[in-house]
Amino acid sequence: MTNCEIIRESIGSWLDGELSPGESDSVRAHVAGCGACDEVRRQLEKLQMVLKDELAGEAARIEFMPFWREVQQRINQKRPWHQELRDWCRDFFTAPRIAWSVPAVIALVLALFSLDSYVPGWRFGGARNNFAAVDSIDAYGRSVALLRENESKTTVIWLYQDQEGENEAAEDATKSGPAF
């Protein structure tokens, strides 16, 4: 977009007094030095004048009292809660508040992911996966049982002392082993 196109888009707002003082000064300075943009300004001002005259003439013929009565009635009328909630939601979720929800959602997601560090055992409301993964095991000739207990998410490595030459008493104690 050229500078003139940008300025022309702002001329209407400038004439309506909707621009900030800085932006107004910028538009004013440009229009003063640019014949084409000044022509756009003159046409817009002329259009505004025509519309104002036309509307003022029409307004004199309009009966406003019934309109104001209706407005008054609507102001005094108590709205149902669901309508108020709907309006509140609409106001809340439209810009500019929606823009703040972006960092707010990021913060919430970060908090959820880091909650496990502060509250051990918590993970999105479910039990934490405490299962251990056994990469390798060497029991030097003994028998080994590997148990994964679902309820407590526990991994158990159980050694059986069934090698020759082991202490008999010890063997008795462990031969039966745990009844997994």
Give yes or no for residue 76 binding other proteins (CB under 8 A).
no
Residue 140 makes contact with other proteins by CB under 8 A: yes
- Torsion angle (degrees, nearest 10) of CA 102, 103, 106, 107: -140
Asked if 177 is part of the footprint of other proteins (rule: CB under 8 A), the reply reads yes
Angle at 63 between CA 59 and CA 65, to 5 degrees: 120
Using CB under 8 A, pick the residue from 85, 110, 112, 115 that binds other proteins. Answer: 110
62 vs 137 by CB, closer to other proteins: 137
Distance CA 30, CA 8 (A): 10
Give the residue, chosen from 47, 107, 112, 115, that forms a contact with other proteins under the rule CB under 8 A: 107
> Does 21 help bind other proteins (rule: CB under 8 A)?
no
Beta carbon nearer to other proteins, 75 or 133: 133
Residue 7 token pair? 């300025």
CA dist 144 and 38 (Å) reads: 93
* Position 159 contacts other proteins (CB under 8 A): yes
Give dist(CA 144, CA 67) in Å, integer.
90
Q: Decide: 137 and 157 in contact? Cβ < 8 Å.
A: yes
Number of CB atoms found within 10 A of residue 7's CB: 21
Among 5, 59, 99, 125, binds other proteins (CB under 8 A): 99
For other proteins, which is the closer residue by CB, 58 or 168?
168
Residue 143 CA: distances (Å) to CA of 161, 163, 176: 7, 8, 13
Task: In angstroms, give the least distance from the CB of 92 to other proteins.
Answer: 14
Q: Which of 82, 129, 164, 165 is in the footprint of other proteins by CB under 8 A?
A: 129
Residue choice 114, 115, 118, 126 for contact with other proteins (CB under 8 A): 114
Q: Could you say whether residue 147 binds other proteins (CB under 8 A)?
A: yes
